[in-house]
Structure 1
Amino acid sequence: MVPFEDTALAVHDTGGTGRPVVYLNGSYANHKHWRHVIDDLGPAWRHITFDERARGASHQSADYSFDACLRDIDAVLEARSVERPLLVGWSYGAVLAIHWAARHPDRAVGVVPVDGAYPWGLTGEENREYIRRTFHRMRLALPLARPLGMAARMSAAQHAEINIELNETVAGIAPVYDKVACPVRFIVASGGNTGGSAESMEAMRATLDPVLAAHPNVQVSAKVASNHEKVLRHDSGAVAGAVREIGAILDQEDH
């Protein structure tokens, strides 16, 4: 456990001398979602996972903001004495990874966003109220969804507010890529999921195209058959492949 601010974060670090990879979870996921990717990469890498506030084994907090999650990354890196991480983020974690890399261009050595950090989001007061109503309707089901990594130890209102903030953050993420200096290798999923139809998800993914055109360091490593919810489980090999792709670039730079 890493005590930080008003909470404590559950951190898992395999240790070793390999290049450190820090995994950033989806909105309500915990570190266990990365086990297939970690198995695929193997012991040649140093794997660091952690549960965000009120997820997994981490403690609750009075602050679940996006900035708080960015500060948590800093706290974990400091606690594990990691200066230059390779960040792998899924969904919400992909957005965190891009923002952290933009804030620390001299430290981030690479980013693998897994079906996230697309410049698209539901914004405006009408959509904010829609998100609040949706989570209010789900309030009784949220405790049942927690063991599945589909909810946090938060109230329905808190769930709604972090989703509103996330949508507004990703809607404005395109200029953030201007500040990311390291190689970025996307894993793009396919089809729809519980949170969106196939058509809406593909429209969201298409917003990546202008980012790719404007930034040579940002590329798609693979577009996989799995949808957003299943990509870490069914296409872990593609995620591991993107990590190795960045590792190869870094090895060339080292020599």
Structure 2
Amino acid sequence: MQNSKSIDEKIPKWSGLISVEDTQLFVTDTGGYGQAIIYLNGSYANQGHWKRVVEELGSNYRHVLFDERARGKSKKSHDYSFNACIRDLSTIIKARQIEKPILVGWSYGAILAVHWVHSNPNIASGIVAIDSAVPYGLTGDAAKERIYRLFNKIKLVLPIASFFGLAARMSAKKHAEINIEINEISANLEPVLLEIRIPVRYVLANGASRGGEEQEFNAMRESLNPLLIKNQNLKVSAKVASNHENILSKDFLAIAKTISVLAMETNLELKL
């Protein structure tokens, strides 16, 4: 059922900082009457990457976007863990009084979406997972060394990249630690995905991207296939030509269509 507040009462447009623990998160809420959609960013990205998706969907939806800790316009913190991101999402949903949202996650954000739903059932109405939230990750000592080496190599450009929403305002070591943690969480994602009881719709990219070889990305996407049989709530809605990195800018039409179709599937009022 659609958010009752979005039917009876227009939510005012709002943007600003929401306090959580030792930091503040920058949130944009377009308000309106429509189905609430919460966008969950990639590991180091800011909310600006969703611009084309939001514009394509338009004002029929309530779009809620935020920058994670030390990303975009949000403040720094002493805790950049995955569990901190889980708590951040809970805080924003409560602070903005969001009911039955669709969670749309890209990369890190898709894993965050399924884990949050697993820990907080009966709140979200559906998930759109963009080229992620599959049971695959680079783990072990060799993978850790590779990740540390990668971020150490680009440490001088990270402060510049952060201005473009491509990096966080933290050390190269912290960047690496976030990447190592999310790979380990993703590698062990199968039990979480098998217990999801709301619709999860995947939009999968193609080919390689920075930080991985093509065969690794192919293996990552193929790891989802057995779970599509085991849990009928998981479905692939689209496979697109763009890669993991540029999927939001190049295939925003496919993403927007997946969101709108899911909203119709999960929202009785939209069908009437």
Compute the TM-score of the two structures, normalised by the length of structure 2.
0.91
Instruction: From 149, 156, 159, give the equivalent of 1:140.
Output: 156
Deviation, 1:5, is: 0.3
Residue 224 of structure 1 aligns with an amino acid whose one-letter code is V
Confirm or deny that 1:245 pairs with 2:261: yes
What's the CA shift for 1:40?
0.9
Range moving further from structure 2, 235-244 or 53-62: 235-244
Shift of 1:103: 1.2
CA contact (8 A) 1:27 1:92 kept: yes
Match of 1:149 in 2: 165
Matched pairs, number: 255
Partner of 1:37: 53
Amino acid at match of 2:115: H
Using the alignment, how far apart are the partners of 1:106 and 1:134 within structure 2? 40
Cα drift, residue 194 of structure 1: 1.5
What is residue 108 of structure 2 aligned with on the other side? 92
Name the stretch that deviates more: 89-98 or 116-125: 116-125
Structure 2 counterpart of 1:235: 251
In structure 1, the residue corresponding to 2:19 is in which secondary structure?
strand
Q: CA contact under 8 A between 1:21 and 1:46: conserved in structure 2?
A: yes
1:220 to 213, 236, 239: 236
Corresponding residue number in structure 1 for 2:5:
none
Following TM superposition, by how much is the alpha carbon of 1:252 offset from its aligned partner in structure 2, in angstroms? 4.1
Q: SS where residue 68 of structure 1 aligns? A: helix
Matches of 1:119 and 1:192 in 2, distance apart? 18
Structure 2 unpaired stretches of 5+: 1-16
Instruction: Say if 2:36 is the partner of 1:12.
Output: no
SS for the counterpart of 1:149 is coil
Residue identity in the other structure for 2:118: A
C-alpha RMSD of matched pairs (Å): 1.3
Does the alignment pair 1:165 with 2:184?
Answer: no
| 1:67 is aligned to 2:50 | no
Identity of aligned pairs, percent?
A: 49
Deviation at 1:211, TM superposition (A): 1.3
Counterpart of 2:67, as a letter, is D
Supply the AA of the counterpart residue of 2:192. Answer: V
Give the match's secondary structure for 2:248: helix
| SS state at 2:176 partner | helix
- Letter of the 1:103 counterpart: S
User: 2:80 corresponds to which letter in structure 1?
Assistant: Y
| Structure 2 CA distance for aligned equivalents of residues 61 and 165 of structure 1 | 17
- How much has 1:251 moved relative to structure 2? 2.7
Q: Contact 2:194–2:227 at 8 Å: present in 1 too?
A: no
Q: Report the Cα distance in structure 2 between the residues aligned to 1:249 and 1:20, rounded to whole angstroms.
A: 14
SS at match of 1:9: strand
Which residue type is aligned with residue 127 of structure 1? A
Moved more, 143-152 or 8-17: 143-152
Contact 1:103-1:179 at 8 Å conserved across structures? no
Q: Which runs of 5+ in 1 are unaligned?
A: none
Q: Aligned with 2:60: secondary structure?
A: coil
| CA displacement 1:109-134 (0-9 Å, x = unmatched) | 00000011121111112221221222
Q: C-alpha separation between the residues in 2 aligned to 1:72 and 1:37? A: 23
CA distance in 2, matches of 1:103, 1:246: 21
Equivalent pair of 1:105/1:179 in contact (CA under 8 Å) = no
Separation in 1, partners of 2:151, 2:267:
46
Which residue is equivalent to 1:27?
43
Secondary structure of the residue that 2:232 maps to in structure 1?
coil
Partners in 2 of 1:227 and 1:239 — Cα distance?
A: 13
Higher mean Cα deviation, 77-86 or 22-31?
77-86
Bigger mean CA deviation after superposition, 3-12 or 178-187:
178-187
Q: Is residue 189–residue 231 contact of structure 1 (8 Å, CA) maintained in 2?
A: yes
Contact 2:46 2:166 in 1 (8 A): no
Which residue in 2 is equivalent to 1:184? 200
State the TM-score, normalized to the length of structure 1: 0.96
Structure 2 residue corresponding to 1:122, chosen from 138, 163, 185 = 138
